Structure 1
Amino acid sequence: MIVMSGFSCAKACLLSVQEVEEALETNTSQGLAHDEVKRRQTNHGHNEFTIEEDTSLFRKYLEQFKEPMILLLLASAVVSMFMKQFDDALSITVAILIVVTVAFIQEYRSEKSLQELKKLVPPKCHCLREGVMETFLARELVPGDIVTVSTGDRVPADVRFFEAVELSIDESSLTGEEVPARKSTEACETSTHISDRHNVGYMGSLVRCGSGRGIVVGTGENSEFGEIFKMMQGEEAPKTPLQVNMDSLGKQLSFYSLCIIGVIVGLGWVQGRPLVEMFTIGVSLAVAAIPEGLPIVVTVTLALGVLRMAKRKTIVKKLPAVETLGCVNVVCCDKTGTLTKNEMTVVEIITSDDQHLTLDQASGDYILDGQHVSSLESNHTLAKVLTVSALCNNAHEVDGQIHGNPSECALMAVVTQLNFHQVQQKYQRLEEWPFSSETKYMITKSVDSYSNIFFSLKGAVEKVLGLCDSYYYHGAASALTPDDQKRILSNASSLGSRGLRVIALAFSSDGKTYTYLGLAGIADPPRQGVLESIEALYQCGVKVKMITGDSKETAVAIAQQLNIFTSGDVAISGVDIDKMTQPQLRDIISRVAVFYRTSPKHKTVIVKALRSNELVVGMTGDGVNDAIALKTADIGIAMGKSGTDVSKEAADVILVDDRFTSLISAIEEGRGIFHNIRNFVLFQLSTSIAALTLIALSTLLKMPNPLNPMQILWVNILMDGPPAQSLGVEPVDPDVIRQPPRQVKEHIITRGLVLNTLISSFIIVCGTLFIFWKELRDNMVTPRDTTMTFTAFVFFDMFNALACRSQTKSFLQIGIFTNKAFLLSVGGSILGQFLVIYFPPLQAVFQTEALYFSDIMFLLGLASTVFIVAEIRKLVMSRKFCCRKSYNLDNIV
């Protein structure tokens, strides 16, 4: 016996039930024999996803040490140990452990996205074997099994239905469409898109109503969700821009360190000094040049950003993802559940006498012809519409929540909101003719307390009008003329062009001829605040593109409401994408605003095409069908409430309250974090270069060392300690969000940063050497000489930190007291410096002596020059920028 190889839903849906039965060698009335099941399990395996643990956790942890920055720091720690600089070795080791541990946790958590797919397989199923209906674990299913599903069940495997009784299945987690798919048994004409396959059910999808029986055609990794699983295994999450920058910085520092060693050793060899001695000095200077506090500050800065974002209902799972948000220049949005509520809502009702009941998106209230609904008793037509909406309806309320078919829930919500639900208590249902794909309408027969019969009808416009010979006009029935029908169809077309699902309503007293009542336009409306958020994204240089499984009409209509789709924009389908080559898609993708009828594979192709154009892509989504694209994108953003576990595990960021508006604050935080990291790098490099230059000059010129080892250690503590780290918690500059996203190729160390670093370092070195020269006039190094030089360098360091709070704005503009952590750390450092100078036990340790008050004031005045020069530079740069803006404006005028 050979089971058809490569069998899938795409093939099975095109075949008749008998052909599927023959291909899988099964029997719809008896099922498979137990022996046959065992043979098929040997060939196909269990109905589950297998995740191979090919690498141990310990090995994965060790692999984190391969990063260039980590290797450089490891080398620095080893050298520090050999040179008995145990304090430096300890601080570097701590930095390494923090960074490596955080990176390991990120990788470990990201792999859970694959494990979450296992939850899609229901624990139990109902299966027919050897003519007996059995209930067992779904993992035991094999192709050819006969299964039964009913309301509330999850489909246990990919199934080709041969029996469907009012069967509707929610496939939104796979297709993105909010309307449950109505299932039938006839063979499909096409299987191009998932939503075209009306006779199959997919593993993990939820049965909303009805019941059905079918043949299992795909299990485990051979199911439709299995395809997603295999694609996720094949996708590797890209490195964040910050990780790329840190790698680049590590390579730059390695290069500079080797250059320093070479220069120092070379000059010493020319002077005739011992090579071993010069090599030791060169290595010491190279280690001193490495800002070992950088990884710690980056980690702390990102972690604090994560905490701030958590307060704004945004959870960041991976620390570098915080900064990546600031680089995003295009956001791909899944429509259902992200831009829209994923709740079918009646947004407009047009009654038979042309009254318009509309939903006010801002307040959530219904407005009748521009006014709030005051009384339904006086409005006979609207009362009739609500009566039919309530009676021709199987939705029911439980604990304040309406359950049932989404369209019927939407109609019942209007009835409830307008306090008309008591009408159900006045009628008793006698009979129901349910909706079917053939009739495309539903009829109920009810009776009131006076024994009056009332037939309610709802369905497709053409079908309902075909049963009507009159329409309701101000409390009475009027003959339905061809002109009236044209008017009604025009109203229906108007609603449909806005992407609304249109339902017609009518009633009858005899069940033979009906009186038309009106149209209900049902939509999945945009989330509150989404339009404003999209406009804000456009203002800060971020483009928005919609990706959905919906039809073109619905997708474009919603996109137009949200200003995503405007004149000149293009909408293409998944079928169009399949016909394009990668270069063709890359060329056109910048003009495409809407992608419709897409599959999970298409979403991934779209994200990759955007990234190939050197764009930083953010992808939002909530369904299983979004998981691959969420992982492939530079930053994956999942919905917290409506999102599936798979999407949340695959994402980097989770919006807890599902509010798209939270994305704006997240981007603002991300941009601010990079600015803070760059400010810290400016401070670290300028101070490190100044300290390095002092040591190098004293060594090369054979001068006495201006600082003793304990004083150098204290300076290193200040460089890497609280004053430096407090720069990482600088509040986000509001102007950041109005700037365009930074380029990914833009390095942390830019030409402007290097220039600022050299200017600050030059001032610090000149000022400190001036103090050392001034105090060294007697050609003897005394405790006062080193104390004055040491204190001068520390004061320069503190003023330099103050200047580094912002590279563009004066400290008066950013606010003196906006960063309390900075004030406390600098104040604590200065207090510590005074203890070193004036506290006798510390005087002995650091070899210092007390200075006069006039000495302190003189040193403060001199050290402030680094701050004053920086402030003057910022002022000049801001005036140049303003002049440039004025010039541009003049040209425009």
Structure 2
Amino acid sequence: MMTTFLSSDAACRVTSQEIIKILQTDAKLGLNENEILKRRKYYGLNDFEIDDDEPLWKKYLGQFKEPMILLLLASAFISLVMRQYDDAVSITIAIIIVVTVAFIQENRADKEIEALKRLVPPKCVCIREGKSQHIYARELVPGDLCILDIGDRIPADLRLTEANDVSIDESSFTGETKPSMKTVDSISFGSRQTSISDRKNTAFMGTHVLNGNAKGIVICTGENSEFGKVFQMMQQQEAPKTPLQKSMDALGKQLSFYSLSIIGFIVIVGWLQGRHLLEMFTIGVSLAVAAIPEGLPIVVTVTLALGVQRMAKREAIVKKLPIVETLGCVTVVCSDKTGTLTKNEMTVTNILTSDGDIAEVTGSGYDGEGDVLCGHERVTYDSHPLISKIVEVGAVCNNAEIVNSHLRGQPTEGALLAVAMKMNIPHIRQQYHREREWPFSHENKWMAVQCTPRYNPNETRLYVKGSIEQILKLSKRYLHQGAAAQLTEQKVREFMADSNQMGAKGLRVLAMATGTSLEDLTYVGMVGIIDPERPQVEQAIAQLKAGGVMVKMITGDAEKTAKAIGKYLNVKIKKKAYH
């Protein structure tokens, strides 16, 4: 068993075959269960140790560090020394109330956040003992073989062994907005230390796959990963103070300055008048203590605590009380559309053939519940050949899987598989043997697979799906009444008009084509896909607007689709707001 971590700087300099030997793993089968247990015992979990195990009494005493609290403590002490017991007791009670409320809220929030972390741990796809498994990312060990697809969050530092047109968003590390294109080739830099952006054959924990698909071997986990190094640096940094904390700190310092000034002024004036210094000092201290608003921290703390409780009733967890005030300073909310405003459960709602036939699809989710209806007739595989061909292309040109109503893969591809399930052809993909794949990329905006039917291995077919613009550019013909007809400019305009109508309804349009090569495709039709909005999203946006907060939606959809969805969600779209 390997007993040291292999840094990404070292891993990027050697070939993938050498990586396999160094990590003592298998490029096809992955690790076996015994080896996994040994490595987990040695390396630990793919997780981060958070230095937050200090005892409760230390956390409680930590609440006394605020300048206003320290000032009140000094005031209570002076009152006690001067035998002003009523003032000393009242100030002490005020301090205890403020500190206790803040401590209880922070401790409660910590427990709720920990419970949430255990509730939704990140997962990944891994090959172990030759079988593809969906496991928790924290269970990965060096030497594990991981599978990556579009949209996946990379679970650990990986040395890529296979890469099909892969680009990864590494902006969290490099600051570069341009995606990093990946390769499997080793990189030579001599003795020079490589940067993150130099390591083109390595995928880093916490980054996201934008295009293509890949396989990679885990080289570093947890705090030994590049993300882990950043995490350790962040642990050493103190959180910035909120506007309210800064204001309270400034007030505490100002009150301290004014209190000392009052004491000094009265003592000096009394001394000049020939009075007893101790008497003048006592008067000065009494005035200074009286000037300190001991009720202010109570009012602020109770007000913020009430805000926290109101937010808790709406299922929002606030760890630090002053965060409530910070939220009140928000003027703009930028929200991702997919998975935030919407469920990220893509559902095909319409199918439009190249013949002009329209089918409606009922049901949502990935359980196969629903029907495909053309008019009032239920569509089956044999009843409407062209609709069936569109569904077949979408299911075969697809890398997703639906297992027990749970999707493994991209939601858009899951929606296409769900339609096949609704037409009772869930295993249509198994009737073909895939020979080659052209992965989807944001440059090409299409995906293609070359396959042969298992019942006729001498025949080669090409199934392509992608944006309507790109599919029509690649197509020379279209299916019309069961035969291929020449694709004219007039027909292209008609198909584009159909696509625009779908987009205006907020549907994401995906076109389908078949053929024998990319230079000889036949357009068969398109599907309209919608991502249902999350419950109460429209109400939340309306409440934000009523509070004077501007809401912006971030999406990669086509402009007409984005505007339609924005209008539906009550997000105002300006002509120049789409970038």
Q: Shorter-chain TM-score category?
A: 0.5 to 0.7
Q: By how many angstroms is 1:352 displaced? A: 1.5
CA distance in 2, matches of 1:491, 1:187: 45
In the TM superposition, residue 529 of structure 1 has moved relative to its aligned partner by: 6.4
Match of 1:520 in 2: 527
> 1:124–1:161: structure 2 CA closer, same or farther, 3 Å change rule?
closer
1:407 aligns with 2:415: no
Letter in 2 for 1:147: D
CA change 1:487–1:4 in 2 (3 A) is farther
Alignment partner, residue 93 of structure 1: 92
- Match of 1:315, SS state, is coil
Q: Could you say if the C-alpha distance between residues 485 and 424 of structure 1 is closer, same or farther in structure 2, counting changes exceeding 3 Å? A: same
String of CA shifts for 1:465-507, please: whole Å, max 9, x gaps. Answer: 799776445x654523343774488469969999987543358
Over residues 318-355 of structure 1, what are the superposed CA-to-partner deviations in whole Å (9 max), with x where a residue is unaligned? 21111111112344545543344333344765432456
Q: Unmatched 5+ residue regions in structure 1?
A: 129-134, 176-180, 361-371, 448-454, 572-893
Whether contact under 8 Å (1:560, 1:566) holds in the other structure is: no
Aligned mates of 2:476, 2:498 — CA distance in 1: 18
The letter of the residue matching 1:236 is E
Q: Counterparts of 1:526 and 1:45 in 2: how far apart (Å)?
A: 40
* 2:353–2:390 CA contact under 8 A, matched in 1: no
Q: Which amino acid aligns with 2:449?
A: Y
Give the alignment of 1:60-139 within 5 angstroms. Answer: 61-101=60-100, 103=102
Q: Deviation per CA, 1:94-143, whole angstroms, max 9, x where unpaired?
A: 32233334555677767998999999799999889xxxxxx9x988955x
- 1:774-793 matched pairs, under 5 angstroms: none
**Matched residue, 1:883:** none
Q: Are residues 1:249 and 2:257 paired?
A: no
Where does 1:315-714 land on structure 2 (aligned, <5 Å)? Answer: 315-346=317-348, 349-354=351-356, 375-377=376-378, 383-384=387-388, 387-388=391-392, 392=396, 405-413=410-418, 415=419, 421-424=422-425, 430-433=431-434, 436-437=437-438, 440-441=448-449, 457=463, 459-460=465-466, 471-473=478-480, 476-477=482-483, 479-483=485-489, 486-487=492-493, 490=496, 503-505=510-512, 516-522=523-529, 537=544, 542=549, 558=562, 562=566, 566=574
Q: Quick one: structure 1 residues 46 and 408, their matched pair in 2 at CA, closer, same or farther if it must change by over 3 Å?
A: closer
Aligned CA RMSD, in angstroms, stands at 6.4
Contact 1:381 1:472 in 2 (8 A): no
In structure 1, give the amino acid aligned to 2:98: V
Structure 1: distance between partners of 2:20 and 2:388: 50
Letter in 1 for 2:256: S
Any idea what SS the aligned residue of 2:526 has?
strand
Does 1:219 pair with 2:227?
no
Using the TM superposition, give the Cα deviation of residue 241 of structure 1 relative to its aligned residue in structure 2, in angstroms: 1.4
Asked if the contact 2:390/2:524 (under 8 Å) is kept, the reply is no
- Does the CA-based 8 Å contact 1:456-1:507 persist in structure 2? yes
Residue identity in the other structure for 2:412: S
Q: 1:238: how far off? A: 1.6
Counterpart residue identity of residue 433, structure 1: R
Shift of 1:262: 4.6
Are residue 148 (structure 1) and residue 145 (structure 2) matched? yes
Paired residues in the alignment total: 512
The one-letter code sitting in structure 2 at the alignment partner of 1:221 is E
Alignment of 1:149-188 (within 5 A): 149=146, 157-162=156-161, 186-187=184-185
Residue 88 of structure 1, CA deviation: 2.7
| Amino acid of the structure 1 residue aligned with 2:70 | L
**3-state DSSP of counterpart to 1:89:** helix
CA contact (8 A) 1:48 1:221 kept: yes
- Residue in 2 aligned with 1:8? 8
CA distance in 2, matches of 1:122, 1:561: 30
Which residue of structure 1 aligns with residue 303 of structure 2?
301
Per-residue CA distance 1:24-82 (angstroms, 9 max, x = gap):
697868999xxxx9xx99x9999654555797765565454332211210111112222
What CA deviation, in whole Å up to 9, does each residue of 1:136-188 have, x standing for no partner? x988955xxx4334799998742224368x9999999999xxxxx9x997449
Name the structure with the higher strand share.
Answer: 2
Q: Is the 8 A contact 2:333 2:551 kept in 1?
A: yes
Partner Cα separation in structure 2 for residue 561 and residue 401 of structure 1: 26
Percent sequence identity over aligned pairs = 45
SS, match of residue 424 in structure 1: coil
Question: Secondary structure of the equivalent of 1:300?
Answer: helix
8 Å CA contact 2:158–2:204 kept in 1: the answer is: yes
Alignment partner of 1:316: what SS?
Answer: coil
- Amino acid aligned to 1:69: M
For 2:50 and 2:401, locate their aligned partners in 1 and report how far apart those are by CA, in whole Å: 42
The alpha carbon displacement at 1:375 in A equals: 1.9
Task: Give the SS at the match of 2:343.
Answer: coil
Cα distance in 1 for partners of 2:487, 2:525 equals 15
Residue 503 of structure 2 contacts residue 560 of structure 2 at CA under 8 Å; is this kept in 1? no
Q: CA 1:257–1:64 in structure 2 vs 1: closer, same or farther (change >3 Å)? A: same
Deviations 1:421-478 (A, max 9, x none): 154389896445387237723769699xxxxxxx9955346997799776445x6545
Which is helix-richer, 1 or 2? 1
1:343-395 Cα shifts (integer Å, max 9, x gaps)? 334476543245677999xxxxxxxxxxx985245995885467537864787
The answer on whether the counterparts of 1:120 and 1:204 sit within 8 Å (CA) in structure 2 is no
Q: Structure 2 length as normaliser, TM-score?
A: 0.63
SS at match of 2:252: helix
The amino acid that maps onto 1:411 is L
Within 5 A, what are the aligned runs for 1:795-834?
none
The C-alpha deviation readout for 1:581-636, integer Å capped at 9, x for no partner, is xxxxxxxxxxxxxxxxxxxxxxxxxxxxxxxxxxxxxxxxxxxxxxxxxxxxxxxx
Q: What TM-score, normalized to structure 1?
A: 0.44
Counterparts in 2 of 1:541 and 1:264: CA distance versus 1, 3 Å:
same
Shift of residue 247, structure 1, vs aligned partner: 1.5
Query: Which one-letter code corresponds to 2:8 in the other structure?
Result: S
Measure the CA separation in 2 of the matches of 1:387 and 1:543. 41
| Paired residues of 1:48 and 1:121 also in contact (CA < 8 A) | no
Name 1:586's counterpart in structure 2: none
Map 1:683-762 → 2, pairs under 5 A: none
Structure 2 residue 235 is matched with structure 1 residue 233: yes
Q: 1:374 to 1:444 in 2, by over 3 A?
A: farther
Displacement of 1:93 in angstroms is 1.7
CA distance 1:25–1:244, change in 2 (3 Å): closer
Letter in 2 for 1:242: L
| C-alpha spacing 1:433/1:459, structure 2 compared with 1 (3 Å) | farther
| Cα distance in 2, alignment partners of residues 19 and 496 from structure 1 | 51
Matches of 2:87 and 2:286 in 1, distance apart? 11
1:807 equivalent in structure 2: none
